[in-house]
């Protein structure tokens, strides 16, 4: 177990080197100063990548076998990835560290940096390392090169907020180590060396960061993760389709998602994909009300969940893998849809989308967003039908009925999509999901199930089908459809509440009028009011909650509530409060120096 000392050495080396690099950076003015497209607010030390590289490269150098000529035949995939893989990894991170260091000091052109990354990726392909995703070695080699360059740049782009790149890299390297532990212990140790160095650096880099890693750090992290994930796919993934493909993608889901989202939206908004900006996933999470720390921790959590999914796929067969892959894919799709709706740039920057030169498909995708809804329903229908088989039959029986499932799946999807369309599911508004919409979706799922049973009876004579299966399918699909649709409303409501600014107020009246007033304040930020709760005379409502806000009584202890919550005023939700109530509210406001407002809705005639 001697190699396990190397990750501890990596941690110790980086822990000592980071403050040393920080001291030198301040002495030599290697500082990142705040700019319009950067997130930090004060000058911060750069070149933290030197400490990260020192923590990784020294233990890796000592552990690796550099007799490459004895280990590899150029162009032919090595039979095992052991000490020789460490040599290739060390050489790759060293070259990219030097490239990043030059970029940090001299700011080389993006195409020059990309060329350097491609050359390093070609070196890896020369030594025979491939993803082994395709039978065609030519295609597989090209995809491997694209993977190396893409993941390296994805981690580089992810270095946009304190502790984000280091933390996500730490999580990814840990789960890669877990994937490799049983099948290739030495590769797992390489992952833990990366893990140890990043853990030490994160102590100084987590919000508020006292040092940034720079390109000399993010390129090293990105290449290390890309190369080690290739080693997993090529040498350690168990037999089966899902582990080899899904393992590397799941472990690196956060950088892949962030890069895809940023690139897609920047291209649609007419901006260069290589241009920096505050439009990354982390920035969008802050935009909906999270602090920088919470945004980073949220992405750590997503990376961890995705890593756990990779472990599940690694240890289970092809029949069980969709049970985690499909829900995770749907969650990532929903997250992308939510975050893409946020306006990060001024509206004029999106005017290019309205240019007539863009195809109708692009316009539909960008504005009506119904294509994404149809795609999500397609996945939900397929997954609910698959889940119903898994719940209805044990594994042995499911393998027997699997051909029946595959043959009937297109029929079920077609019937339910048509039913959804006929019932008007795709004519609704995403963020206004109501009780009436619940009724529409219940009818749509029921009609889709009836269509499916009818057509299956006609085509297959209902042979080898179970009636109970379609009941399970209807229940599963209905639950998932309502949950996803409700999440649209929940997300928009949460985002609106988190972005409210202004004076904190209590709403007098926890009835229907109070609900209407609350919606008006939440959806109209120009009111400059922030609701903190309700006041109500009804003792049965006191200490309850309405729309998530507490209801306070009107008897005693109000002064403490005003002071604790920082209340600046009261808004009357009653349409016509009695003179006695109005006099009481006036007295409360005078005694506590609060302003008083009254909410009213009126409909006026307009002369034609």
Q: What is the pLDDT of residues 31-76, one digit of tens each?
A: 877 665 555 567 888 899 999 999 999 999 998 877 754 444 444 4
Q: Does a structural domain hold residue 604?
A: no
Q: Same domain for 438 and 507?
A: no
CA torsion, ordered 297, 301, 307, 313, to nearest 10 deg = -170
- Decide which of 447, 465, 496 is a domain's last residue: 496
What b/e sequence results for 87-114 when a residue is b if at least 16 CB atoms lie within 10 Å of its CB, and e otherwise?
bbbbbbbbbbbebbbbbbeeebeeeebe
Please state the pTM of the whole predicted model.
Answer: 0.77
* Average pLDDT value for residue range 541-554: 86
Question: What are the phi and psi torsion angles at 523 (to 5°)?
Answer: -90, -5
Q: Are 334 and 484 in contact (CB under 8 A)?
A: yes
Q: Band of the pLDDT at 337, cuts 50, 70, 90?
A: confident
Q: What is the pLDDT of residue 77?
A: 46
Residue 117 has pLDDT above 60, yes or no: yes
Q: Same domain for 374 and 340?
A: no
**Spatial CA neighbour of 484 closest among 596, 367, 377:** 377
549/450 Cα distance (integer angstroms): 42
Q: How many CB atoms lie within 10 A of CB 316?
A: 16
Q: Same domain for 452 and 587?
A: no
- Decide which of 461, 496, 531 is a domain's last residue: 496
- Decide which of 331, 354, 377 is a domain's last residue: 354
Q: Same domain for 154 and 38?
A: yes
Q: How many CB atoms lie within 10 A of CB 34?
A: 11
Q: Same domain for 33 and 46?
A: yes
Q: Same domain for 68 and 190?
A: yes
Assigned token pair, 140:
């597989």
Q: Same domain for 392 and 247?
A: no
Residue 535 sits in which domain range? 501-598
Q: Does a structural domain hold residue 277?
A: yes
Q: Does a structural domain hold residue 395?
A: yes
Per DSSP (E only), the strands in 306-354 are none
Q: What is the pLDDT of residue 428?
A: 67
Residue 169 has pLDDT above 50, yes or no: yes
Q: Same domain for 218 and 324?
A: yes
2-42 confidence digits (pLDDT tens): 677 899 999 999 999 999 999 999 888 888 776 655 555 67
Q: Does a structural domain hold residue 107?
A: yes
Assigned token pair, 524:
């109209």
Q: Band of the pLDDT at 102, cuts 50, 70, 90?
A: very high
Q: Same domain for 95 and 196?
A: yes
**Spatial CA neighbour of 471 closest among 440, 443, 450:** 450
280-325 confidence digits (pLDDT tens): 899 888 888 788 999 999 999 999 999 999 999 998 877 788 888 8
Assigned token pair, 270:
């007419």
Assigned token pair, 12:
């110790």
Q: Same domain for 393 and 491?
A: yes
Q: How many CB atoms lie within 10 A of CB 36?
A: 7
Q: What is the pLDDT of residue 510?
A: 85
Structural domains of the chain, count: 3
Q: Does a structural domain hold residue 187?
A: yes
Q: Exposed (0-12), middle (13-18) or buried (19+): which is 291, by Cβ within 10 Å? A: exposed
Q: What CATH number does residue 531 fall under?
A: 3.40.50.720
Q: Same domain for 206 and 106?
A: yes
Assigned token pair, 225:
């993760």
Q: Does a structural domain hold residue 176?
A: yes
Q: Are 533 and 573 in contact (CB under 8 A)?
A: no
Q: Does a structural domain hold residue 581?
A: yes
211-232 confidence digits (pLDDT tens): 999 999 999 999 999 999 999 9
Question: What are the phi and psi torsion angles at 508 (to 5°)?
Answer: -90, 110
Least confident residue range of 32-46, 49-63, 167-181, 558-572: 32-46
Q: Same domain for 316 and 400?
A: no
């Amino acid at each position: 177990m001697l190699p396990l000392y190397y990750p501890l050495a990596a941690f110790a080396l980086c822990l000592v080197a980071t403050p040393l690099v920080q001291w030198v950076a301040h002495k030599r003015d290697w500082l990142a100063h705040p700019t319009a497209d950067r997130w930090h607010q004060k000058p911060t030390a750069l070149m933290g990548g030197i400490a990260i590289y020192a923590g990784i490269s020294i233990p890796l150098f000592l552990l690796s076998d550099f007799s490459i000529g004895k280990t590899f035949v150029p162009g032919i995939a090595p039979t095992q990835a052991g000490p020789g893989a460490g040599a290739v990894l060390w050489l790759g991170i060293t070259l990219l560290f030097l490239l990043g260091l030059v970029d940090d000091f001299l700011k080389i052109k993006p195409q020059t940096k990309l060329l350097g990354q491609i050359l390093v990726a070609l070196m890896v392909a020369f030594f025979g390392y491939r993803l082994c995703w395709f039978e065609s070695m030519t295609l597989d080699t090209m995809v491997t090169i694209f993977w190396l360059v893409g993941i390296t740049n994805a981690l580089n782009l992810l270095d946009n907020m304190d502790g984000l790149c280091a933390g996500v890299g730490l999580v990814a390297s840990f789960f890669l180590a877990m994937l490799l532990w049983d099948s290739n212990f030495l590769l797992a140790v390489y992952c833990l060396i990366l893990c140890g160095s990043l853990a030490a650096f994160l102590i100084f880099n987590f919000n508020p960061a006292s040092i940034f890693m720079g390109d000399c750090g993010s390129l090293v992290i990105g290449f290390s993760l890309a190369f080690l994930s290739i080693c997993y796919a090529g040498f350690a993934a168990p037999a089966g389709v899902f582990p080899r493909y899904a393992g590397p993608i799941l472990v690196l889901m956060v950088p892949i998602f962030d890069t895809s989202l940023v690139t897609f939206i920047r291209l649609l908004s007419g901006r260069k994909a290589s241009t920096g900006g505050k439009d990354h996933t982390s920035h969008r999470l802050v935009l909906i009300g999270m602090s920088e720390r919470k945004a980073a921790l949220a992405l750590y959590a997503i990376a961890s969940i995705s890593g756990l999914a990779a472990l599940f796929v690694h240890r289970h067969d092809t029949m069980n893998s969709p049970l985690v892959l499909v829900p995770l894919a749907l969650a990532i799709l929903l997250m992308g849809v939510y975050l893409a709706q946020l306006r990060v740039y001024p509206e004029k920057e999106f005017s290019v989308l309205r240019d007539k030169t863009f195809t109708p498909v692009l316009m539909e995708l960008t504005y009506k967003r119904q294509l994404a809804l149809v795609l999500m329903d397609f996945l939900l229908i397929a997954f609910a039908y698959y889940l119903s088989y898994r719940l209805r039959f044990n594994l042995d029986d499911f393998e027997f009925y699997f051909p029946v499932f595959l043959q009937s799946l297109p029929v079920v999807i077609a019937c339910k999509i048509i039913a959804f369309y006929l019932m008007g599911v795709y004519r609704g508004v995403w963020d206004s999901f109501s009780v009436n919409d619940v009724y529409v979706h219940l009818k749509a799922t029921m009609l889709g199930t009836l269509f499916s049973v009818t057509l299956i009876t006609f085509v297959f004579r209902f042979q080898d089908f179970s009636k109970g299966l379609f009941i399970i399918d209807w229940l599963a699909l209905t639950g998932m459809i309502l949950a996803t649709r409700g999440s649209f409303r929940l997300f928009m409501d949460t985002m609106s509440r988190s972005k409210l600014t202004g004076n904190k107020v209590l709403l007098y009246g926890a009835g229907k009028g109070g609900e209407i007033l609350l919606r008006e304040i939440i959806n109209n930020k120009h009111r400059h009011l922030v609701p903190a709760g309700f006041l109500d005379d009804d003792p049965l409502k006191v200490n309850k909650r309405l729309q998530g806000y507490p209801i306070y009584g009107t008897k005693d202890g109000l002064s403490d509530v005003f002071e604790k919550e920082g209340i600046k005023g009261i808004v009357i939700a009653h349409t016509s409060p009695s003179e006695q109530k109005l006099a009481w509210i006036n007295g409360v406001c005078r005694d506590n120096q609060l302003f008083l407002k009254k909410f009213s809705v009126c409909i006026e005639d307009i002369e034609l």
